[in-house]
Amino acid sequence: MFNQRLQRARKASGLSLRALGERVGLSHAAIKKYEDGDVLPGSDVLLKLSRELKVRTEYFFRPDTVALEGVEYRKRSSLPKKQLDAITHEIIDKIERRIELENLFPQPPVKHFELVQGLPELVESFDEIEAIANTVRTEWGLGFDPVLDLIDVLETHGVRVFVVQLETSNKFDGLAAKVNDMPLVVVGANWPGDRQRFTLAHELGHLMLNNRLADGIDEEKACNRFAGAFLLPDASLRQELGEHRNAIELKELGLLKDEFGLSMMGIMYRALDLKVISQSCWESLIWRFRKNGWNRNEPGNPYPSEKAHVFEQLIFHALAEDYISESKAAELMSMKLSDFRWVRSLGGSDAVAHQ
């Protein structure tokens, strides 16, 4: 177990055997023996490895390991393997801590994911996806109002969401996978909220549309349509913009973005898909956005980022019920005990940043 975790942490750090050995004062052959499982390091070397690889010593001896199944990286091709290894390592570390925490509860603290009932067996057009998005919203009790906390909605229905700090935010558009048949989605912590929300809704689309699309329907485009429909339903868009528009003001798009958490570009695509605006109107809008660079950085204030707080809530739930000790809580949150006590005393309110 130790050897596998050491190798994973080393690769995630982008270090060769020789480079890691030099940092801790050992030969590359010694590091290889650790990774081959031939020997275990002493406590002094273990501390050096922990420090250089930026993991807690407990990480090397965590009892359970997980394997990501069916991993799908959006924009994966633009990421070097070292960066993919680093992302995967951080995600697996978070998942392992999450699963370890959930297993400490007498009863599962989070609902098991289930597909919404009543969805069509075969989807033969993009327009049918509108109805599917509405069905999911109805079954989940969302109505047609804006979804203010999308992460909470997904977590409530059994989709684990992980928010990670990534240096490659411009090249990593999300990850979806399963662990023990548990669906999970990963987004970047430093993204604008509308980008996070579209990725989350897009991945929900993959879950709901899986094996339902007729031949000839592109799955990525179908999931984009689902994401738009889920975040801004047909009825809501028509109520806000009307049945038909010859033109739309920039401020209107900004107000809708603030209300529904969908990008201005996303709203424009919704208006085109639903024939609220014509193709020529859409082309005029998109030309204006590209001319001003708004397709890369939209005007106005960014939509607030989503926050993943379920893990933190479970930590304090388990602590209150004496399922875990204070030191175990700090370990699961990858925090020093002194830092955790400060957060527990309400000295710091954003403990999730340490997750």
- pLDDT tens track for 243-278: 999 999 999 999 999 999 999 999 999 999 999 999
For the domain that residue 41 is a member of, what is the CATH number? 1.10.260.40
Query: d(Cα 280, Cα 248) in Å, to the nearest integer?
Result: 12
Integer Rg of the chain from CA: 23
Least confident span in 73-87, 175-189, 213-227? 73-87
Pairwise CA distance, residues 248 & 97, whole Å = 47
Q: Which range is least confidently modeled, 1-10, 57-66, 295-304? A: 57-66
In a domain, 238, yes or no: no
**b/e burial code for range 304-319 (CB count within 10 A of at least 16 → b):** ebbbbbbbbebbeebb
Per DSSP, the three-state class of 232 is: coil
Asked if residue 315 is part of any domain, the answer here is yes
76-82: average pLDDT:
64
Rounded distance, CA 122 to CA 211, Å?
Answer: 8
The dihedral formed by the CA atoms of 121, 123, 127 and 131, expressed in degrees to the nearest 10: 20
Residue 216 lies in a domain: no
Classify residue 342: in a domain, yes or no: yes
> Would the CA dihedral through 168, 170, 171, 173 be positive or negative?
positive
| 158 occurs within a structural domain | no
| 8 within a domain of the structure (yes/no) | yes
Query: What tens digit of pLDDT does each residue of 279-288 get?
Result: 999 999 999 9
Residue 228, pLDDT score? 97
Q: Is the pLDDT of residue 158 over 60?
A: yes
What average pLDDT does the structure give for the chain? 87
- Kindly tell me if the per-residue pLDDT of 354 is higher than 50: no
User: What pLDDT is recorded for position 74?
Assistant: 65
> Is the whole-model pTM more than 0.85?
no
**Which of 18, 41, 61 is at the close of a domain?**
61
pLDDT digits (tens, 9 = 90+) for 107-154: 888 888 999 998 999 999 999 999 999 999 999 999 999 999 999 999
Structural domain count, the chain: 2
Q: Does 195 have pLDDT greater than 60?
A: yes
Q: Are 94 and 35 in contact (CB under 8 A)?
A: no
What percentage of residues in the chain have a pLDDT greater than 90?
52
Kindly report which listed range (51-65, 119-133, 246-260, 305-319) carries the lowest average pLDDT score: 51-65
- In a domain, residue 305? The reply is no
Compare 297 and 66 and report the one with higher pLDDT: 297
Burial 330-345 (b: 16+ CB within 10 A, else e): bbbbbbeeebbeebbe
pLDDT of residue 142: 95
**Residue where a domain terminates, one of 46, 61, 76:** 61
Instruction: Give 227's DSSP letter.
Output: H
Structure letter (DSSP) for residue 118: T
Domain around 315: 310-354
Q: Which residue has the tokens 């527990």?
A: 344
In a domain, 20, yes or no: yes
Of 97, 160, 152, 154, give the one whose Cα is nearest residue 318: 97
- What does the pLDDT read at residue 104? 85
Mean pLDDT confidence for 21-41: 88
Whether residue 292 is predicted with pLDDT greater than 80 in this model: the reply is yes
Q: Which two tokens stand for residue 141?
A: 């009790």
Q: Which residue has the higher pLDDT, 29 or 85?
A: 29
Q: What is the mean pLDDT of residues 169-185?
A: 77
Instruction: From 14, 43, 61, give the residue that closes a domain.
Output: 61
Average pLDDT over residues 313-327: 93
